[in-house]
């Protein structure tokens, strides 16, 4: 019952925020903004998104190789696209990450090792987000609507740093897994220890973490550029440094599993942050809508790959039966 209630609450939360934010917005103003959108900038955004997917697939492969799992880059590239498609309809990135774990596990690597690679990939990505967010917010802190915004990336850095330290050190994490409360769940305990064993493989390659973090910095900076180019596509003259500050902070809130794909949360934050940067409410909301639409269009490529692979598997199964 709880599994059914949680998704409904997220949908209700997103719809509630949307209703609150858009209730007094003139739809003609939104239509006017989109009618003058520049297709050139949108094409550049799709190209940069494709490059980002390639970077993420390469980073993910580095963790898998460190654990002696050799899956070709192009295969991981496709899996990332499919994961992005699922993430559009599920809370946070959980749905997409679950697909990635499943897709690699069925190759014979095991769920724990697959989960470890996705977790390491995700943690290094978030670490890059919080570092960039904190650094840019400190540099341009006079432009912040409230100095308390600094606490968001600062607090996230402490939390992520603690989690990564526990995974690398492992003594505390393994003791937690062996708590008596988990003795009745031997499969879960084994999963936890196997996952930590994979992390040990990553630790044996000292440069791996820094390579992954470096790739994550490039990826996250490209995301900042994507939102900046989206504003240019809509002919908004917001200075670049505002996107450097706000895109990482918004990304952190989008990751919270409280809404569907960040819908509603993102809109509210865009109004709050970019309103202070000179955008009217309907302009900030149109930027949030454009972000979702461009991501959705790009993610359709993942949906097509998923359908193609599913149909191909069905054809193979039919041939085997014949």
**80-84, 158-162, 233-237, 259-263: least confidently modelled range:** 259-263
Backbone region of residue 37 per phi and psi (left: phi > 0; alpha: psi in -120 to 50; beta: other values):
beta
Query: Do residues 117 and 69 touch, judged by C-beta distance below 8 A?
Result: yes
Please state, in angstroms and rounded to a whole number, the distance separating the CA atoms of residues 169 and 190: 18
Beta bridge partners of residue 260, listed in sequence order? 91
How is the chain split into domains, by residue range? 2-321
The helix or strand, by DSSP H or E, that contains position 31, with its residue range, turns out to be: helix 27-35
Burial of 271 (0-12, 13-18, 19+ CB in 10 A): buried
The whole-model pTM stands at 0.88
Average pLDDT, the chain: 88
Whether the pLDDT of residue 320 is over 50: the answer is: no
Q: What are 251-281's pLDDT values in tens digits? A: 998 888 777 777 888 999 999 999 989 999 9
- Under the banding of pLDDT at 50, 70 and 90, the label for residue 20 is confident
Length reported for the chain: 322
Of 3, 97, 21, 62, the residue nearest 263 (C-alpha): 21
């Amino acid at each position: 019952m709880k599994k059914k209630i949680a998704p409904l609450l997220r949908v209700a939360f997103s719809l509630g925020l949307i209703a609150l934010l858009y209730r007094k917005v003139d739809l003609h103003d939104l239509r006017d903004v989109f009618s003058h959108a520049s297709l050139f900038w949108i094409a550049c955004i799709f190209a940069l998104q494709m490059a980002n997917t390639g970077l993420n697939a390469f980073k993910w492969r580095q963790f898998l190789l460190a654990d002696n799992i050799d899956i070709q880059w192009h295969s991981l590239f496709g899996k990332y696209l499919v994961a992005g498609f699922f993430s559009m309809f599920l809370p946070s990135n959980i749905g997409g990450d679950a697909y990635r774990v499943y897709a690699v596990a069925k190759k014979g690597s095991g769920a724990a090792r697959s989960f470890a690679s996705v977790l390491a990939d995700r943690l290094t990505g978030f670490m890059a987000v919080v570092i960039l967010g904190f650094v840019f917010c400190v540099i341009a802190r006079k432009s912040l609507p409230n100095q308390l915004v600094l606490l968001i990336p600062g607090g996230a850095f402490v939390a992520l740093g603690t989690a990564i330290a526990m995974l690398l050190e492992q003594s505390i994490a393994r003791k937690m897994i062996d708590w008596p409360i988990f003795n009745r769940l031997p499969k879960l305990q084994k999963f936890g220890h196997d996952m930590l064993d994979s992390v040990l493989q990553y630790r044996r390659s000292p440069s791996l973490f820094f390579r992954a973090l470096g790739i994550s910095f490039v990826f996250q900076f490209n995301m900042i550029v994507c939102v900046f180019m989206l504003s240019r596509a809509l002919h908004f003259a917001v200075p670049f440094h505002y996107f450097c500050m706000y895109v990482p902070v918004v990304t952190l809130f989008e990751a919270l599993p409280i809404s569907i794909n960040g819908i509603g949360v993102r809109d509210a934050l865009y109004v709050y942050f970019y309103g202070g940067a000179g955008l009217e409410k309907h302009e900030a909301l149109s930027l949030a809508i454009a972000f979702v639409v461009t991501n959705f269009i790009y993610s359709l490529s993942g949906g097509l790959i998923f359908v193609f692979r599913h149909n191909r598997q069905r054809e193979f199964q039919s041939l085997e039966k014949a």
